[in-house]
Every structure is written in structure tokens, then in C-alpha cells.
A and B are shown apart, each in its own frame.
Chain A
Amino acid sequence: MTRRALLAAAAGTAGAAVTAGAVRRFGAPAIAAAKPGQLNIGVVSGGEILGLKAIAPMWDKETGVRLNLIEYPYASLYEKMTTAFQANASTFDIVMLDDPWMPKFGSEGWLAPLDAAPFNLQRDPDIFPVVYDLGSWPPPSGPVPPGEGGKARHIYAITLVGNVEIFMYRRDLVSQTPQTWDQVLADAKRLGNASKQFYGFTMRGAKGNPVISEWSPILRAYGGTIFDDHWNVVLKSPETLSALKFFTGPLKAVSEPGADVTDAADRSRLMATGHAALGETWPAEASDSVENPKVSSVIGKVAYTVVPAGPPGKHTPLMGNWLLGIPKAAKEKDWAYRFITWATSAKVQRPYAAAGGIPFRQSILTDASLNKRYPFFKAMADSLAAPPFWRPRTPEWSAVETILGTHVNAALAGTETSEAAVDKASSEITQHMKEAGYIK
């Protein structure tokens, strides 16, 4: 045996020993895989990876495999991932994807199924069922894109960032937790004082995704929806019109001026600086701004609850999870799966949450000590149990959201009536879905 061959054999034996240790530690499937130098994970840059950055050194230390976080801005991440997948390139071992991307990734078959061999992921009772549903393809409920219905359903991704829209209010000013939108309106009217630049409600109404994220829970709370189970556009309904009239009429009247150009950062700033009493929010906003002692003047004064119910009495929070998946072309699938099960385990979710990450496990979200530091965790748990609704599972969602976001914004700004906005949005979405081959 040559010296080089001897060294290679020794290295192989050592690698196998470490791998076996790692397998025992994380309870991963019994797959023998050589230990890689690093795992490449494509992630979005920003607050969503705060927790991931905190646990990365723990992973490095425990396994000796470096976690290489490749950060991209939101739009670039999608572009980079789709380009890599189309070329069947092994650029990423793991990808972090926004849940509206799931339909595209699922229908294209770009991800490896996690609940099939060799991984055989088992459902954990500590994880809300909706989390597994969100990462499944084809979707277990609601309309299914043409040609996808016949496919076998699998779980392709698991949530890491358990974003779900919640409701915040000044508990020093509002004595009773607002349960309905009518209560919100009453409280906002009572508390708002525009001359003192204090607004009853803070509304994120900027064109496109912002206004749709804000209005969708109200639309659903009023019983409205965009599609039926066959992708027919059913937006033109009394429920939709009531939801839009409430949003652009009484709710806008108690909101800050220029709600139609307000985005998430403006909304958080108004709340954190004590200029607003009530409003919807995402956990990351609450964590970064409202509950951040460095920028907030309302620490300890804000409480969180599930997004209020509409006339039918149902709470309808919107989901916006970030998930982890393994590309089919990944080189280190085995280690990628080990990382995913490790990062989403109850043991690791605790330091992940403590460092500012948005968790998703029931046991973490209801933990009393964590709720002291992050008072919105309990509201998140209640919202995930509600259960929340997800955006329609179609790769066309981006177009639908853009069309609807344009007209709802126009109605909010007063350049279109609510009736005209619903009419135009409905006909444009119908036209688009026809062009995309969903309806005839």
C-alpha cells in the first residue's frame, strides 16, 4: 500500500466514525455519507436569518461541517434558486424558500421529498399540522393547479421561520383584547387624535404585496375569497365588497395619513415611537422594532393576539413561513437532511428563538420564559392553531397579488371606488388565469 493510499484509508475511517457519531446524535436515517467540508445553504438576507446565524456556529462545532450561508436579497434569492434548479446545478445543498414559492418548486419537482426514502420524515406532534401542510405538494386543501392533482403528495420542505400575521395593540390604552374588527374600529376611534399625531390604527397599504398582506386577513374574516376550488375567480361577492369598503372607509379614516404609501417599516416605526394604538404586524417586525429596546418607546406597553374576526366570527391570520428544503440536485442530501432535522428540533429551536429567530414549535411558542422576552410568541401559537390560511397555491400568485394589490391600493388612495376596484381586479385576474391555462 502506498503512503497516499494509507492516508486516504485512515481519513475515510475517521470520517465514517464522525458520521456515525453524528447519525446517533441527531437520530438521522442510517445512511452512510462521507463528511463534507461544508454545507451550502441559500438564504434570504435580513431579519429572517437572525436565528439561523446564531445557531450556525453551534452546528459547525457539533459536526465539524461548516454551514456556509449564501445570502441574497429577496428577489435575487428566488432568481438564483430557479436558475440553479433549471440547470440542475448543485449550487445549494439546502434552500430557504418563502411559502408562496412552494407551488413553483413543488410543481417543477425541484425538491427532494422528505417523507420518502431515504429520509422518511415522521410528523412530530409538537409541530402544528398546518406547517406540514404548507410544505406539502400538491396542497392538501384548496384548489390544485392543473396537472398537479394526480401527483403523489409529499412533504418537500419544513418551516424554519414560523411567520404568521398577528395583531398588536397598546395594552395600556385598550382594556379588552380586541376580538373583532368592529371592536378594533371602536377602540381606534376612541383613541385616535390626529392633531397630536396619534393614530387609532396603523395601516400598511402600499401598492402590491404590502396592501394585500394587510387586507387579506380582513377579506377572509368577512368570508370573501379569490378563487373557488376550480380556480374560478369569485372575488365579485358581497363579502369581498364589504371587506374592501370597511378597509377603505372606516378603517382608513382612523389610520395614519398616507396609509396607501405606508409599508412595514413605516408601520413599525409608528407603533414603536408611540404614534399608533392598534395594527396588524409580522413577528419579525415586532421583534426588530416594537420589542427592540434600542428603538422602541413602548416596551411593555404592547400586547399581541390573533388577527380579529369578521362578521362570521372566524379568526383568519395569514401565513408567511420560510421553509427549508433539499434540492434534488444537491450533492450533500444526507447532511442537508441532518441539518434540517437538527435546526428544527426542539433542542435547537430554543437558542434559535432566544437569539431573535422566529420559531414555529408549539413548545417553544408557549414557553413562559421566552414569552417574557418575546411577548408575541403566544399570539403566534394561537394563530398557527387557528389555523391560518395560506396564499392560493399556484405559481401565478405573484401575478394575482400584483393585480389585486394595484386595485386595492387604488381604492385605498381614493382613485377607484371599491366597486370598480373589485370589478377590475376580478376581470384582470380572470384574464390572466385564462392565459395561464387554469380556466377557459
Chain B
Amino acid sequence: MTSRGAGVPASHRAGAAITPFGRSTGPYLLLAPPILFLLTVVVYPLFYAASLSLQYYRLGGFAGLHNYTLAFQDSLLGDSLRATLVYVGFAMAIECVLGLALAVAVQRTIHSAAGRTLVYLLFVVPMVTPPVAAGVIFRLMYIPQYGILNVLFHDLGYRGSPILWMSSPRMAMFSVVSVDVWQWVPFVFLVLFAGLQAVPADVIEAAQVDGAGGRVRFLAIEIPYLKPLLLLVLVFRFTDTLRVFDHVQVLTMGGPGAATEFLSLYLYKIAFKFSNLNYASALAIYVVIVVSIVFSFTSRYLTEETA
């Protein structure tokens, strides 16, 4: 004997709350927390920023697209964008090449579980270091008067004038990129190393039987398997390097002049030093649009690849 109602969906059982649309409230209640969360931390701030971007600085009142057009006349923003692109380009390229090289090297040379665990642990240290602390560490290395690098060069016999690691635009760019590389090569390494573990062993063995060397194995088998992961890494690093702030602020404060004043530092300056939240909001909306476009393209590609 079965009880009445057994096999009937819960929503159709007697006593279950039904919405005016004829459905149970259960799914809506389950969806409510994430929707509320998204409304609070994403939608509301976005609309608030959009409304700020449509007002005049200080004077208030509806400004239309004034703040958006201002961006096209702002030569300092252009300088900042150029510096940001150089930073993003160098940091991403170096991190991906180094991370991939390290992943392949470790995969082919270290086979013991203990050895690999030790490598993981060592590589996790830079990733968990707060960016501000990383900036302080590198500042203590690069400071010309008593930085460890100049002291080291001096001890090795270098007798020229001290190297000014943060004083010329090129050296300052090198300094801030080096911190990013130190901190995020491990991330690229860990993701790609995990990807290499997923390459089927039988495919590798078959290639070896057919006489494929290490280079061919890498280009014809491992790289195609790693392609979606490489793209994922690129997207993550792109969005992350685009919003770099902490270590640059500690290391160069965006200097010399505005040589390392990247987009996030520029936005910070406009919003908090100039108190011009209106223009800063317009710039932030531009950033959201660009990042969304990049993300939608890559996610579509990733979906196709993984399918």
C-alpha cells in the first residue's frame, strides 16, 4: 500500500505553497539568496556608478555624456592606457612562457611524489604573499642606496654608479613587471602542470613508439591539450594585470612622473585624490565594457573547445 500523493511532484502536493503563476515557491526561495547577493554587490553598484557618471563634478546636475567624452580628450588617460598595455603585454607574455616552460620541465624531470609536493609548496609561497608585502619586499631590493641588489652588485665587483631601478621609465616598468612575474608565474605553472597530468599516457606512449622526440611531443600533443587552459590562464592574467594596483603603489607610486601610472592607479587618482567620482565612474564603466567583451569572446571560444 502506498501513501496518497506518493510519486506526485512536491509542488503539486496538497499544502505546498503555490505562486500566482501556478508554481511552487521553493525554487524561487532557493534562488533568492544568490539573486539578492548579485543585486547588492553587482547590479546596484553598477547602476550607482552609471548614475554618478552622468553628473557634473562638484557642480552636480545632469551632465549627459560629458564624462564619457572627456575620456577621449584626456591625454593623461591615453598615457595611462599605453603604460597599462605595455605592462599587461610584458607581464602576460613572460608569465605564460616561464610558467609553461617550468611546467614542462618539472613534468619531465621530477617524477617522485615528494619532489613534486615540494615544488608545489615552493610555488605557492609567492601566490599567497599579499601584493602590498610583495611590493615592500621588492622595494627593499631595488632601493638604490641600500637595496640588496645594488649591494650584491657592489660585492661582486661592480664599481659604477648605483643602478637606479625605479628612476627611469624603462627601469621602473621592469621593476613593477618583475613583481608581477614573481608572484604569478606559479599560478600559470600550477594550472598548466595540472593540464599536463591530464594528457593521456597512451597517446604519449604511442607517439614515442612512432619515434616522436620531446619537441614533437610538446608541439603536436601537449600544446593542443593545453590550449583551453592556456586561454583560461590568459583571460585570468589579463583581467588581473588590468587591475594591478598594490605593489605598483608601494614600489613606484606610478612614477617616475606618470610612467607606471596604470589604469587602476589612474582611476584611483581621479576618484580619491581628485574626488571626481563622476569621471572615475565613467572610466570604470568603460573598463567593465572592455573586460566584458574580452570575456564573452574567450568564454565562447572556451565553450567550443571544451565541447
Binding partners A and B? yes
What residues of chain A lie closer than 8 Å to B161, measured between beta carbons? 194, 257
Structural contact, B145 and A436, CB atoms closer than 8 A:
no
A257 to B145, CA, bound (A): 7
- The answer, among B76, B165, B256, for a CB contact under 8 Å with A410, is B256
Q: Give the contacts of A404-438 with B (CB-CB under 8 A).
A: 406-407, 409-410, 412-416, 428, 432, 435-437
How large, as a class, is the contact surface on chain A? 35 or more
- The stretch of B7-15, B34-42, B270-278 that contacts the partner chain: B270-278
Majority SS of interface residues in chain B?
loop
Q: Is B146 an interface residue (CB 8 A)?
A: yes
- The answer, among A258, A398, A407, for a CB contact under 8 Å with B257, is A407
Structural contact, B256 and A257, CB atoms closer than 8 A:
no
Q: Is B167 an interface residue (CB 8 A)?
A: yes
Q: Give the contacts of B238-265 with A (CB-CB under 8 A).
A: 252-259, 261
A289 to B225, CA, bound (A): 58
> In the complex, what's the smallest C-beta–C-beta distance from B22 to chain A, in angstroms?
45
- The answer, among A266, A399, A402, A415, for a CB contact under 8 Å with B256, is A415
A257 to B167, CA, bound (A): 9
A386 to B252, CA, bound (A): 35
Q: Is B143 an interface residue (CB 8 A)?
A: yes
> In the complex, what's the smallest C-beta–C-beta distance from A282 to chain B, in angstroms?
19
Q: Is B169 an interface residue (CB 8 A)?
A: yes
What residues of chain A lie closer than 8 Å to B274, measured between beta carbons? 398-399, 402, 432
* Given known contacts A257-B161, A275-B145, A410-B258, A207 and B166 CB-to-CB distance under 8 angstroms: no
What residues of chain A lie closer than 8 Å to B164, measured between beta carbons? 257-258, 261
What residues of chain B lie closer than 8 Å to A399, measured between beta carbons? 273-276
Structural contact, B275 and A435, CB atoms closer than 8 A:
no
Write out, one digit per residue, whether chain A residues 179-198 have a CB within 8 A of any chain B CB (1) or not (0). 00000000000000010010
Structural contact, A207 and B275, CB atoms closer than 8 A:
no
A44 to B168, CA, bound (A): 34
The number of residues on chain B lying at the interface, defined by a beta carbon within 8 Å of a beta carbon of chain A, is 31
A372 to B275, CA, bound (A): 44
A207 to B269, CA, bound (A): 13
Structural contact, A260 and B145, CB atoms closer than 8 A:
no
> In the complex, what's the smallest C-beta–C-beta distance from A159 to chain B, in angstroms?
25
A75 to B57, CA, bound (A): 22
Structural contact, A261 and B168, CB atoms closer than 8 A:
no
What residues of chain B lie closer than 8 Å to A257, measured between beta carbons? 144-145, 161-162, 164
Structural contact, A402 and B273, CB atoms closer than 8 A:
yes
A428 to B257, CA, bound (A): 14
Q: Give the contacts of B157-196 with A (CB-CB under 8 A).
A: 161-162, 164-169
- The answer, among B58, B59, B253, B257, for a CB contact under 8 Å with A206, is B253
B residues near A, CB below 8 A? 57-59, 76, 143-146, 161-162, 164-169, 252-259, 261, 269, 272-276
29 A-B interface contacts by CB (under 8 A) = A194-B161, A257-B144, A257-B145, A258-B143, A258-B145, A258-B166, A258-B167, A260-B166, A260-B256, A261-B144, A261-B164, A261-B252, A261-B255, A261-B256, A395-B275, A399-B274, A409-B255, A409-B256, A409-B257, A410-B255, A413-B167, A413-B168, A413-B256, A414-B256, A415-B256, A415-B257, A416-B257, A436-B58, A437-B58
